Amino acid sequence: MIASLTGVVQSVQNSSIVLDVGGVGYFLHVTSGFTQQVVIGESRLVHTALVVREDALTLFGFSSVHERELFDLLRSVTGVGPKSSLAILGSLTTDEIFDSVATENDDAFRAVSGIGPKTAKLIVVSLAGKLKVGGGAVKSKSNHDGLVEALVGLGYSERSARGAILEVAKGDALPQQIIKDALALLSNPSRREPQ
């Protein structure tokens, strides 16, 4: 398997780049966000996944090892191929994927073009045991995990705590303010704790 390539960016398209490595141009499928990070003529390290099919060898490129690992995990879900996996990574950050799986919320996946409701639910269910905080297959850790743990320590479920934190965390709000707002939201009688 080709795990990474370092070379000079030769060309950039909407969802692909050509990377010149020692005189050989490698065509890499990437997210549109990745194409905005590269500049023609610059040297670049790209983490890669090689997908072998009967009729093609296709290289996919990523800006980090975590993205590549997440791509492989997404491809392991029944009904999610490499192009759908790349579309998910192009639409959602690794933290958004992690949070959607942790809170069992498939709405983010359904918003991705080509991902239907059944596939979105299957992604959440399939990845639930595979995305671990601090040491799992993908080390994508939300910036708010300490706050979630604090709310769990107060007796709230992890799902409710994470949902409340995500709902109230805005921009660069201080952790104290986020906890205060999350507690106000969770203590609201109209908001029931999910069973």
Q: 48 Cβ partners below 8 Å, 6+ apart? A: 2, 3, 4, 5, 28, 59, 60, 61, 62, 68
135 part of a folded domain: no
Question: Are residues 150 and 117 both part of a single domain?
Answer: no
Q: Are residues 23 and 69 in the same domain?
A: no
Task: Confirm whether 42 is domain-assigned.
Answer: yes
Burial profile 65-89: b = 16 or more Cβ within 10 angstroms, e = fewer: ebbbbbbbbbbebeebebebbbbbb
pTM above 0.95, yes or no: no
pLDDT digits (tens, 9 = 90+) for 62-113: 998 889 999 999 999 988 999 999 999 999 988 889 888 888 889 999 999 9
CATH number of the domain at 17, please. 2.40.50.140
Task: Report the CATH number that the domain containing residue 75 is assigned in CATH.
Answer: 1.10.150.20
Residues 36 and 74 occupy one common structural domain: no
Identify the three-state secondary structure at position 45: strand
What residues make up the domain containing 95?
Answer: 65-127
Same domain? 169 vs 152: yes
Q: Dump pLDDT digits (tens) for 21-41.
A: 999 999 999 998 899 999 999
Question: How many of the other CB atoms lie within 10 Å of CB of 121?
Answer: 14
